[in-house]
Amino acid sequence: MNKKIFSILILLFVISFSTTALASLTFTTDAIIGTAASAMDVGTGNTLSLQVTNNGPITIGTGLVTLGGNLTVAGLTAGRIPIVSTGGLLTSDAGLIVQGATGEQKIAGTANATLSVCASNSLNKNKCDYVATGTADEVTIQTAIDALPATGGHVLLMEGTYNVTSAILARYGLWLQGQGFGTIIQAGAGTWSPNRAVVVAKNDAATKGATAGNNITVSDMTIDIGGLTAVSGVYSWGYLGLSTNVSVQRCTIKNSGASGYGIFGSYSADLKVSNSWFETLGDSAVEIRNSTRTSLVGNSFYGVSALQIYVPSGSVTMTGNLLYNSPVFGTYTTGVYVSGFTFTGNVFKRGAGSSASFTLLNMDGAIISGNIFDSSEETSAYNTAMIILSSTAPVTRNAVVTNNTFSIGTASSGTISYPAIRVSGADGAVISENMIYSRGTTTSTGILVDNVAATGIVIKNNRIKGVGAGASRVGISVASATGVHIEGNHFDTLETGVSVAASATGTRVVGPLWTTSVTTPITDSGTGTKYHGISSLLPVYADNTAALAGGLVAGDPYRTATGVFMVTY
């Protein structure tokens, strides 16, 4: 301490009160040195000022500093404490960092684009920027979201249960992330209208902004909807303009009531759902309305309607998903098509007690390729095909079903009265290169075309296998439809390879047609059926009388010993 400071202090002591130099203190030219505990006290309510005129530094030694009251620091830079040390108290533009022997404790402010929220039952709640109370926790989470900068940021929900009674509203650029299964957002009774979802990405200037529903990520948490009616898990809502680039990753979404969806995309674009789990929902796991460019990748759907698409919507991709007892629907508005639907590399599994199907309604240009359709766990017949092209108008058009594998029924499942693929309506469909194996003990059909609404159907190069001869075990069955083209298929261990019913017209059967252990390669009662390159497979009879006596009926083809193609009458 310099001489001027020392003089000021001595003068202060003389003016304010009587000063007694104790024996333990030695006053020298530029120092006060003591040999025992000492005190400096200017009286109750008085202010003690040090170095306020010359504004020089004040240094405190390495010993413990104890403050009996609050500390107020007026730094040169707003929001910063102007103390720097290699240990103890450090400054940071992002907040205050307290550094100890085993790590750092960061106390962040609103300048930080990552904010943490603890649940009421989280561990180490002192480490979070915000702590929920366990009641109406959406308020605490919303406070953290609203504290982010306008360009977005990261709100991290620590492990624990967050009880919410109304929607959490996203803001532009939000990443709302949990700690995995241990982070649970639990919905309960409250005020859910008008937003009607646990997390809402909504473009609405009156709530969180006209672009608040854009560039949103929700990840790594469980959303339990609590059985609430008409409340969904995540809502991508283009209220005043398309909600764009919303992503749901690694989440479990469950327990909605009637009309409650897992994820609802309405007027959304580029909605992405990946590596998530859906179960026990009152409506679809993913519902798409008036939206475009939706992708579902690597998700698991358990006993729920996996996907429903309402139009006008388009460009929907499902890849690498597992669907267990979980139907898929492409639904419709009269006269309008769903376009650009792709279903590739998925596992569609039907277990005991399920009639789940993959139903194409009003789709244009759908591609169903490289999937596994498996009902080998089924214990009873449900008369529902695995894939259905519906007769509901306007019928699906330009569909491709190719390179899929079907494993239908078990030996213990009794009568299997449904086909792998049923075409009840289509304006152009190609069914090719599929592997179909039906284990039904009495009846089964590989591919069934059975409605006048089915036109322009090509069935080509499929392999269809049963487990033995049976009254109705058929590879390909055609009824009511017109102009079905059947070419180059392989049939194995069946009663009948191709069956053309009396109601079918203009069917074309083109060789080569391979059969192994097939009792009757072809039965034909249709009108105007044409055959090409398959005469070697037909039974040989001398004439019509011999053919009828041999068991053929009117319309069945046969050949004579000299190779002449004939049809019984």
One-character DSSP codes across 115-127: EEEE-TT-S-GGG
Q: Which residues, 6 or more positions from 426, have their beta carbon under 8 angstroms from its beta carbon? A: 389, 395, 396, 397, 399, 453, 454, 455, 456, 457
Query: What pLDDT is recorded for position 115?
Result: 97
Query: What pLDDT is recorded for position 91?
Result: 44
* β-sheet bridge partners, residue 161: 184
**5 vs 33: which has the higher pLDDT:** 33
Backbone angle region of 441, left / alpha / beta, with phi > 0 → left and psi within -120 to 50 → alpha? alpha
One-letter amino acid for residue 318 of the chain: M
Q: What tens digit of pLDDT does each residue of 76-109 get? A: 554 445 554 444 444 444 445 554 444 445 555 4
Is position 354 within any domain? Answer: yes
Q: What is the band of 47 on the pLDDT scale with cuts at 50, 70, 90?
A: confident
555 in the same domain as 532: no
* β-sheet bridge partners, residue 405: 372, 435
The chain-wide mean pLDDT, for the chain, equals 84
Q: What tens digit of pLDDT does each residue of 379-424 get? A: 665 568 899 999 988 889 999 999 999 988 765 545 566 789 999 9
Rounded distance, CA 217 to CA 201, Å? 9
468 in the same domain as 511: yes
Rounded distance, CA 486 to CA 497, Å? 11
Query: What pLDDT is recorded for position 145?
Result: 97
Query: What pLDDT is recorded for position 442?
Result: 60
Of the residues 278, 300, 330, the one at which a domain ends: 330
364 in the same domain as 412: yes
Q: Given a cut of 60, is residue 251 above it in pLDDT?
A: yes
Q: Given a cut of 60, is residue 471 above it in pLDDT?
A: no
Q: Indicate the DSSP class of residue 215.
A: S
Q: Indicate the DSSP class of residue 548.
A: H
**Cα dihedral angle (542, 547, 551, 556), rounded to 10 degrees?**
130
Query: What pLDDT is recorded for position 411?
Result: 58
**556 vs 242: which has the higher pLDDT:** 242
Q: What would the DSSP string read from start to end of 256-325? A: --BT--SEEEESEEEEEEES-EEES-BS-SEEEES-EEEEEES-EEESS--EEEESS-EEEEEES-EEES
Please report where in the chains the tokens 């596992």 appear, as a residue.
347
Query: What pLDDT is recorded for position 539?
Result: 79
Q: Indicate the DSSP class of residue 546.
A: H
385 in the same domain as 446: yes
**112 vs 439: which has the higher pLDDT:** 439
Q: Given a cut of 50, is residue 193 above it in pLDDT?
A: yes
Is position 99 within any domain? Answer: no
Structure tokens at 292: 């475009």
Rounded distance, CA 340 to CA 348, Å? 20
Instruction: Tell me how long the chain is.
Output: 569
Q: Given a cut of 80, is residue 181 above it in pLDDT?
A: yes
Range of the domain at 350: 337-536
* β-sheet bridge partners, residue 344: 319, 369
Query: What pLDDT is recorded for position 103?
Result: 46
Query: What pLDDT is recorded for position 490?
Result: 94
Q: Which of 226, 195, 265 is nearest to 273 (CA)?
A: 265
Structure tokens at 195: 């937003």
184 in the same domain as 157: yes
> Cis peptide leading into 194, omega within 30 of 0?
yes
Is position 433 within any domain? Answer: yes
Query: What pLDDT is recorded for position 443?
Result: 66
For residue 277, the domain's CATH number is 2.160.20.10
Q: Which residues, 6 or more positions from 77, have their beta carbon under 8 angstroms from its beta carbon? A: none
Is position 12 within any domain? Answer: no
Is position 457 within any domain? Answer: yes
Rounded distance, CA 92 to CA 111, Å? 11
Out of 304-308, 358-362, 436-440, pick the least confident: 436-440
Helix/strand/coil for 485: strand
Rounded distance, CA 465 to CA 436, Å? 6
526 in the same domain as 456: yes
Query: What pLDDT is recorded for position 93?
Result: 45
Is position 293 within any domain? Answer: yes
127 in the same domain as 235: yes
Out of 93-107, 228-242, 346-360, pick the least confident: 93-107
Of the residues 330, 365, 400, the one at which a domain ends: 330
Is position 276 within any domain? Answer: yes
Q: What is the band of 466 on the pLDDT scale with cuts at 50, 70, 90?
A: confident
Query: What pLDDT is recorded for position 15?
Result: 47
> Cis peptide leading into 312, omega within 30 of 0?
yes
State percent of the chain over pLDDT 90: 50
Mean of pLDDT values over 199-227: 92
Number of separate domains in the chain? 3
Q: Which residues, 6 or more positions from 16, have their beta carbon under 8 angstroms from its beta carbon? A: 42, 43, 46
Query: What pLDDT is recorded for position 478?
Result: 96
Which range, 26-30, 209-213, 217-221, 446-450, has the best average confidence (pLDDT)? 217-221
Q: Which of 413, 404, 419, 415 is nearest to 373 (CA)?
A: 404
Q: What is the band of 200 on the pLDDT scale with cuts at 50, 70, 90?
A: very high
Q: Given a cut of 70, is residue 441 above it in pLDDT?
A: no
Q: What tens digit of pLDDT does each residue of 491-531 get? A: 998 888 999 999 999 999 988 777 778 888 888 888 888 88
Mean of pLDDT values over 48-63: 74
159 in the same domain as 271: yes
Of the residues 330, 355, 375, the one at which a domain ends: 330
Which range, 65-69, 324-328, 399-403, has the best average confidence (pLDDT)? 399-403
Helix/strand/coil for 12: helix
480 in the same domain as 430: yes
Q: What is the band of 116 on the pLDDT scale with cuts at 50, 70, 90?
A: very high
Rounded distance, CA 562 to CA 542, Å? 9
**CA distances (Å), 432 to each of 349, 370, 399, 488, 513, in order?**
21, 11, 11, 10, 14
482 in the same domain as 494: yes
Query: What pLDDT is recorded for position 335?
Result: 64
Query: What pLDDT is recorded for position 98?
Result: 52
Helix/strand/coil for 349: strand
224 in the same domain as 346: no
| Extended strands (E) in 172-237 | 174-177, 183-187, 197-202, 216-224, 232-237
Is position 58 within any domain? Answer: no
Rounded distance, CA 76 to CA 339, Å? 62
253 in the same domain as 131: yes
